[in-house]
Amino acid sequence: MGPAMIAEKKKAILESTLKLIKENGFHGTPMSQVAKKAGVAAGTIYHYFDSKDTLIMELFSYTQYMIQAAMQESLREDMDFRENFFLRWISRCQFYIQNPDVLFFIEQFVNSPYFPRCSKEQNEFSQNEIIQFIRLGHQNGILRDLDPKLMSIMIHSSIMTAAKVHLDGKFSLAEKEFKQLAQMIWDSIRKL
Amino acid sequence: MGPAMIAEKKKAILESTLKLIKENGFHGTPMSQVAKKAGVAAGTIYHYFDSKDTLIMELFSYTQYMIQAAMQESLREDMDFRENFFLRWISRCQFYIQNPDVLFFIEQFVNSPYFPRCSKEQNEFSQNEIIQFIRLGHQNGILRDLDPKLMSIMIHSSIMTAAKVHLDGKFSLAEKEFKQLAQMIWDSIRKL
Amino acid sequence: MGPAMIAEKKKAILESTLKLIKENGFHGTPMSQVAKKAGVAAGTIYHYFDSKDTLIMELFSYTQYMIQAAMQESLREDMDFRENFFLRWISRCQFYIQNPDVLFFIEQFVNSPYFPRCSKEQNEFSQNEIIQFIRLGHQNGILRDLDPKLMSIMIHSSIMTAAKVHLDGKFSLAEKEFKQLAQMIWDSIRKL
Amino acid sequence: MGPAMIAEKKKAILESTLKLIKENGFHGTPMSQVAKKAGVAAGTIYHYFDSKDTLIMELFSYTQYMIQAAMQESLREDMDFRENFFLRWISRCQFYIQNPDVLFFIEQFVNSPYFPRCSKEQNEFSQNEIIQFIRLGHQNGILRDLDPKLMSIMIHSSIMTAAKVHLDGKFSLAEKEFKQLAQMIWDSIRKL
DNA sequence: AATGAATGAGGTTTCATTCAT
DNA sequence: CATGAATGAAACCTCATTCAT
């Protein structure tokens, strides 16, 4: 079930949690606040989620679906591999910039004790599309000889880091800088 | 005051907190457990730290000093720029691998609401040495034309990501892989 | 909102606090004991009061309402000024004797750092009725020329002191002694 | 042993406690703060006092001695009974005004659970001189027929109340008002 | 005598969760 | 389904007191 089919209230709870965790961290986000922001009673949350842990675990799935959905929109088939890579790198970076709550939630989540409890599928779900793309690059002899999963992790890390830098406000990245960064990453993965 | 001069008990508290946060996160690390692991009474912690927040903020400083100290040891002057970069990249990666508590604490810290409360000096402290090194590369026309701070953040992100991948146990990186990764990052920052 | 409309549990908490503070002082009245005596869980207190301080501040308001309500009952219009004064003096004194918790709480409260935090209205609320009465006495040329607020404070002090003496058990004041004391105060405020 | 013979440090501790209790109440006056203000180590307090309770009990004795000493200075024998009363009433009121710490400490103390633990002598000590004076007034047929202890308590209460009003800043009492108030109390105790 | 780091019981408060309505 | 008052375990923190120096 994708986000489109999620009950109105359940979605409100997820979105509220997302925002609150970005602002206050796991630590500073009590269920009572989630309820308030979502406009539901505290008890209502427990109709949709067994516990706070469950809510957070499902929120991770929810963000992974969001990302995947957003990425599928931006794909186009009528370009060469390099152009495709640039499009993907920049699209994903812009997705995080437009959804900073998602970015900061994921960063907190993957570094928390929650993450190891995810199933393998869960935690690779939103990466699969990148991995497939890398495999294609390998088959065509374009990319360096490095495990696709590892390559995907390194790429993804560069995307999130760039988005965080931009959101921090320290370096406001314009199109030029995005291209520069994508170029850097491209040069790091392609065969020279 | 560097870590070397920190009172025995204060250090025990810092180290215990570091380990517990790695294992259980901020959330799952009550002061009572810190006290227990450090072998002191709960109240003693408050002799050294005003509050849990203060403890965590100081722990970040403490890790930055550790990193800086470790890095200074590994520096050598008798090599060219490229070799120097490889040495630095791999040394720092190995430091994190040998100190996973530090790595996971920092990852949690920089993505939490604590981080924005650090002074500018604090949060750039352990990066200064990399930034200086990048400036040198710019002066010698070796590196791409990109803001040194931004470049340093991207490099550091690659280091932490590699270390995390190794520690996750998914990909056990041997010397060959470290060199491969360092080569990738090198190709992303140097002028081609 | 007067005490009559206060939720059952809120009232139980206020009354329990009142009794415990009389017996053990602010200091010796932990929230856990309040909860126990009120028959609620510790956390429930925080449903009704933000903090212990808030509870104590509201308890003061609560006592002021109690006093005002009790005093309004005892007023009669069919008597001359002097008789009216006696009735009021003795009624209030008897109120404190019948409600020693209120008396001792107020004495502790007004001499504590809490009192200066009351609004002007709060801390004069239960005195207003006396002040009005004194103004009437001034208009009719019966009372000495002294600021009504000051006079009211002096009168109220005499009432509380008399009640405390009686409750101490050192001097059990019977009707005769109450009249004697009221007479003394009367002679101190009237024009001779 | 009067205050004159108290060891320097012991006195510093008593005086510091007095000031802190006035400002923050019993509740808000930890031993650590007392130590700091007195310029001694926390442990040192326990050389002079068995416990915090003991410190507070002794502080009450200390204030009683202070009052008695101050009152003895102000007495003069060359005046009639009424003048003598005025002098005493006003002197004591002014003592409290000049020593607000003493006033507020005593008010808090006598309404706290500490007070009932005082010996009879302790808690009547500073009143004895007033009581003797009242007895003299009875023998000479000047005063109303009321138990001297009760009369003394009522008088003392009027003094403290007047001093508190003045210190509150609500009514700044000048000589005229002090005389007016003393006159009121005089009219309440003398035979009319 | 004096120190102050250390203690740990116990204080206030929070918050995930339940359940009667 | 939804509510939100109520719960109580457990969190953070305080502070009277001790004791090695």
The reported pLDDT for the residue numbered A76 is 77
Q: Please identify among residues 75-134 of chain B the ones whose CB lies closer than 8 Å to any CB of chain A.
A: 104, 107-108, 111-114
- Tell me the Ramachandran region of residue C41: left when phi exceeds 0, alpha when psi lies from -120 to 50, beta otherwise: beta
Q: Which chain D residue is nearest to residue C164, measuring alpha carbons?
A: D111
The reported pLDDT for the residue numbered A106 is 96
The reported pLDDT for the residue numbered B189 is 96
> Do chains A and C touch, with touching meaning 3 or more CB–CB pairs less than 8 Å apart?
no
**Which residue has the closest alpha carbon to E10 C1'?**
C30
Residue A33 (CA) to nucleotide E15 (C1'), in angstroms, measures 10
Alpha carbon distance C21, C13 (integer Å): 12
**Which residue has the closest alpha carbon to F18 C1'?**
D43
Give the bridge partners for C143, in sequence order.
C190
Q: How confident is the model at residue D4 (pLDDT cuts 50, 70, 90)?
A: low
Least confident of A58-72, C118-132, D133-147: C118-132
Taking the CA atoms of A157, A159, A162 and A164 in sequence, report the sign of the dihedral they define: negative
Give the bridge partners for A143, in sequence order.
A190
Q: How far is CA C28 from CA B179, C31, C81, in A?
A: 67, 10, 44
| Predicted confidence (pLDDT) per residue in B70-118, tens digit | 998 887 777 899 999 999 999 999 999 999 999 999 999 999 999 999 9
Least confident of A68-77, C17-26, C154-163, D103-112: A68-77
Does residue B13 carry a pLDDT above 60? yes
| Predicted confidence (pLDDT) per residue in C67-89, tens digit | 999 998 887 777 899 999 999 99
Residue B30 (CA) to nucleotide F10 (C1'), in angstroms, measures 9
The reported pLDDT for the residue numbered B74 is 80
What tokens were used for A150?
């590892």
Q: Please identify among residues 56-85 of chain C the ones whose CB lies closer than 8 Å to any CB of chain D.
A: none
Alpha carbon distance C146, B28 (integer Å): 65
| Predicted confidence (pLDDT) per residue in C88-129, tens digit | 999 999 999 999 999 999 999 999 999 999 988 887 777 888
Tell me the three state secondary structure of residue D190.
strand
Nearest residue to D49 via CA among D64, D34, D63: D34
The reported pLDDT for the residue numbered C2 is 45
Contacting residues of C for D159, CB less than 8 Å apart: none
Nearest residue to A190 via CA among A149, A158, A155, A160: A155
- From A107, A144, A157, residue closest to B184, measured CB to CB: A144
| Predicted confidence (pLDDT) per residue in B174-189, tens digit | 999 999 999 999 999 9
The reported pLDDT for the residue numbered A10 is 97
Alpha carbon distance A172, D127 (integer Å): 78
Query: Taking residues A29-36, what's their average pLDDT?
Result: 97
Chosen from C96, C154, C186 to mutate, greatest number of chain D CBs within 10 A: C154
Nearest residue to A26 via CA among A147, A93, A110, A98: A110
Count of other CB atoms within 10 angstroms of residue B168: 12
Contact B90, B178 (CB under 8 A): yes
Q: Determine the CATH number of domain C3-189.
A: 1.10.357.10
Alpha carbon distance C155, C161 (integer Å): 10
Contacting residues of C for D192, CB less than 8 Å apart: 187, 192
Q: What does the domain layout of chain C look like in residue ranges?
A: 3-189
Least confident of A32-41, C116-125, C170-179, D176-185: C116-125
D185 part of contact set with chain C, CB < 8 Å: yes
Which of the nucleotides lies closest to D27 (Cα–C1')?
A: F15
Q: How confident is the model at residue D1 (pLDDT cuts 50, 70, 90)?
A: very low
| Predicted confidence (pLDDT) per residue in D34-67, tens digit | 999 999 999 999 999 999 999 999 999 999 999 9
Contacting residues of C for D96, CB less than 8 Å apart: none
Contacting residues of B for A187, CB less than 8 Å apart: 187-188, 192
The reported pLDDT for the residue numbered C1 is 42
Q: How confident is the model at residue A85 (pLDDT cuts 50, 70, 90)?
A: very high
The reported pLDDT for the residue numbered D123 is 77
Count of other CB atoms within 10 angstroms of residue C119: 9
Q: How far is CA D52 from CA D111, D118, D120, in A?
A: 18, 15, 21
Query: Taking residues D128-153, what's their average pLDDT?
Result: 94
| Predicted confidence (pLDDT) per residue in B137-168, tens digit | 999 999 999 999 999 999 999 999 999 999 99
Alpha carbon distance C62, C2 (integer Å): 8
**C47 strand F contact, CB < 7 Å:** yes
The reported pLDDT for the residue numbered B1 is 43
pLDDT > 70 fraction of chain B, expressed in percent and rounded: 97
| Predicted confidence (pLDDT) per residue in A163-182, tens digit | 999 999 888 889 999 999 99
The chain-wide mean pLDDT, for chain C, equals: 92
The reported pLDDT for the residue numbered B76 is 77
Q: Which fold has domain B53-189?
A: Tetracycline Repressor; domain 2 (1.10.357)
Query: Taking residues D136-165, what's their average pLDDT?
Result: 96
The chain-wide mean pLDDT, for chain B, equals: 92
